[in-house]
Structure 1
Amino acid sequence: MKRFPIVILICVILSFWSSCRKDFEFSPSTGNLEFSKDTVYLDTVFTNIGSSTYNLKVYNRSENDILIPTLRLGEGQNSMYRLNVDGLTGTGAIAGKEFENIELLAKDSMYIFIETTIDIETLASSETQFLYTDIIEFDSGSNRQTVELVTLVKDAVFIYPQRFLDNQTGDYIIETLVFDVDGDGTDDETTIQGRFLEPDELNFTDERPYVIYGYAAVDSGDELVIDAGARVHFHANSGLLITSGGSLKVNGEPSTDTEVLEGEVIFEGDRLEPGFAEVPGQ
């Protein structure tokens, strides 16, 4: 009589194991993945400044749990993009370039996070504006699917405060401005992170964009001249500061091209994605 409870227990265990086992049976991908977009346009980036992180959503609309054998950047380890696939950083020598055996459950989806850091010096061109592209490859052979990646890259003049190492704390201290704040003839210490422009920096031209981190200050007796067609970009919490006795001259001109605006002087943030076009305080 004692055998029956044991037999029943074994049957229950086998039934439970059988019903759950299919959750761990992954079929090879058949090239029927769907994507939230077929091309990912990353925001314009300036030399040596990485882009924002963008995401791509990948859908498995089928009834089967699938295994994506390979997921990689088209340029492989040499790509200037980096990926994070649902928290995974990849299998190659350099993180974020190549992935293997990615599991995706039936009727489920996953996120791929994409970013880039591009050094303009590595791009073989003499122009000052570049389009960098690559692809994300899902699987290979007849099951291969791709999503394109596109980034506009610009060379720029960077103006930023110096950083000094505090030997006691090991922390970096960012340079702050010292000038006569209250007009009493004595310079005052401030907490404004930035630096004064050097004499050879007091003319902004239209040759390259200017990107300002912190505050670019014009000292008493100096004048900053900004030529027609110049483009000045400010990082978050940054700006121009003209001290008492200093001056700013902006030589904007009417443009003949209403799209290019070649004569106007444009001040804007350094986040150039369309979604930030009207966002203050970037």
Structure 2
Amino acid sequence: MRQYFTIFILGLILAFGSCRTDFDTVASTGDLKFSKDTVYLDTVFKNIGSSTYQLKVYNRSKNDISIPIVQFKKGLSSKYRMTVDGMTGTNGKIFKDVTLLAKDSLYIFIETTADITDANPTDFLYTDEIQFDSGANLQEAALVTLIQDAVFLYPNQNPDGTKEKIKIDGKDVDGFYLSESDAVNGNELIFTKQKPYVIYGYAGVPDNKTVTFEAGARVHFHANSGLYVGNNASLQINGTASKTDQLENEVIFEGDRLESLYSNIPGQWKSVIFSNGSANHSINHLTLKNAVTGLDFKNPSNTVEIKDTQIYNCVEYGILAENSHIIAENIVINYAGIASLLCVYGGDYSFTHCTFNNNWSNPSHFAVSLSNSLTGKTPETNALTNATFNNCIIFGSNFNELNLSKNTSAAFVYQFNNCLLKFGNTSNPDYQFKSDTQHYNNIILNENPKFYNVAQNKFNIDKTSAAFAKGNPAYIIPLDILGITRTSPPDLGAYQSQDFPK
């Protein structure tokens, strides 16, 4: 019994000893430390919410402190909102009597949704401060956001509350048709560089109309959005070579999240779809990234020309071409979940001085895949009348980066001339790169092209590359993708070799 009594007394002592309250606080003395003095929220479009940004606040003292108030300097009118250690305060703007324990920290998460009219008219910056305490102990952390104006294109809302629809592949999807005489935007079939464009849903090019993208145009697609080119409609992309890394003369298609966190995340928007029967497409100096499928050709009625174009970070395909006729020069495609280039259900294709790479971490992906059949079609096979690759690079992180899917019920005509290929298993009779001169001429097999930086989608090469001066002058395109004059014999791929910056 005495033993139990002793344990009971010790328990009481420990319990009362621990009752020195950890919530007895002293007032903040203004000695808070911050993980950063200024929080820069990356550029956002007007009235589109930003990502969430973090500020960490430290109490380095030995005392538990109470901060009388944490608030935005602009108070309840601020366009910022925050949480403080998970608390939402008054409308996410004002927090009173915030406790911060000794040698501890608290997390503040910050977001914003602001209009261009809220920003400074000279630099389009929207700013505020987070204030800690008040009076003599006031401390502040600055907030800065660049607000970008844009032309917003989106489906109308029907009287019953549903969104406007257009039909793609027999299915109704949220979308609208671009107008030549919109009451707000004027001619929506001409995209200029004056302001960026933000598209919600699918923007459709009406039958028999042409949509034109002028040099320097910027188009941002919201989630599940894209561009659809209708029957006998045309797409003209008129980008030109740029002089700086800002790609000032390129036409750029990407998602509508401008924060650097989203710069290389695949699948932020859907695709550019060219319908069966669309016609007269020309694509020059387009940079397209972060889609599900980049360019989706569904049997356009005549030849598509693609020049000096880059396509990156697509969940499925960079280019998906179904029974199409494509002539392409100086194009670069990298990082696709299934194939950087898939030509399916036959067609007619010519690719010269192109770089097809695929570093998607999937053992079944390819840089280039060709097929003359398609399940569900009637008939299931269709002639691949031509697929020619001249002075190209076909490479990637997989064992085999070329896939030929032949069906003997239809023609399958192909040829690779002066190309660098990555292919590990050469026992298949379709891949006899040295002995099959009908299909392969001057093939460099499994040698390293030594791209400058694959992770950053920089596929420049220098003189140490296996692709250096290995091209056939008969196929030369005089200027590379950057507008640099090619030497003879030319390098393989889309880039003329240069010395890399040190």
Give the shorter-chain TM-score range.
Answer: 0.7 to 0.9
- CA positional deviation for 1:209: 0.5
What CA distance in whole angstroms lies between the structure 2 residues aligned with 1:174 and 1:57? 42
Question: Partner residue of 2:340?
Answer: none
Is 1:154 paired with 2:148?
yes
Return the structure number with greater helix share. Answer: 1
Query: Identity of counterpart residues, as a percentage?
Result: 55
Residue 109 of structure 1 corresponds to which residue in structure 2?
105
Q: Is the 8 A contact 2:193 2:216 kept in 1?
A: yes
Deviation at 1:227, TM superposition (A): 0.9
1:266 aligned residue: 252
Structure 1: where are the runs of 5+ without partners?
167-171, 182-187
Matched, 1:139 2:136: no
Q: Which has the larger radius of gyration?
A: 2
For residue 163 of structure 2, what is the amino acid of its counterpart? Answer: I
Give the whole-Å Cα distance in 2 for the aligned partners of 1:130 and 1:280.
29
C-alpha distance in 2 between matches for 1:191 and 1:34: 55
1:174-214 per-residue CA deviation (whole Å, 9 max, x = no partner) reads 332126x4xxxxxx4x1422111112210111111100111
What TM-score do the two structures reach when normalised by structure 1?
A: 0.81
Residue 13 of structure 1, CA deviation: 5.9
Deviation at 1:140, TM superposition (A): 2.7
Asked whether 1:198 is paired with 2:179, we answer yes
Is 2:69 the partner of 1:70? yes
Q: Could you report, residue by residue, the CA deviation over 1:235-272 in whole angstroms, capped at 9, with x for unpaired residues?
A: 1221111123111111112234x044332211121111
1:132-281 equivalences under 5 Å are 132-164=126-158, 166=160, 172-178=161-167, 181=169, 188=170, 190-199=171-180, 200-256=187-243, 258-281=244-267
SS of structure 1 residue aligned to 2:20: helix
Shift of 1:147: 1.3
The corresponding residue for 1:119 is 115
**Cα deviation 1:87-118 (Å, max 9, x = unaligned):** 32334xxx122221101122322221211111
SS in 1 for 2:19: helix
1:39 aligns with 2:35: no
Deviation beyond 4 Å, 4+ runs, structure 1: 11-15
In structure 2, stretches of 5+ residues that fail to align are: 181-186, 269-502
Tell me which residue corresponds to 1:55.
54
1:86 and 1:173 map into 2 onto residues whose CA distance is: 39
Structure of greater relative contact order (alpha carbons < 8 Å, 6+ residues apart): 1
1:80 corresponds in structure 2 to: 79
**Cα-Cα RMSD:** 2.4
Measured in 1, the distance between the counterparts of 2:115 and 2:36 equals: 27
* Residues 124 and 23 of structure 1: CA distance in aligned 2, closer, same or farther (over 3 Å): closer
| Mapped partners of 1:174, 1:58: distance in 2 | 45
Cα distance in 2, alignment partners of residues 178 and 278 from structure 1: 30
Task: For 1:191 and 1:255, locate their aligned partners in 2 and report how far apart those are by CA, in whole Å.
Answer: 39
Aligned length: 256
Match of 1:26 in 2: 25
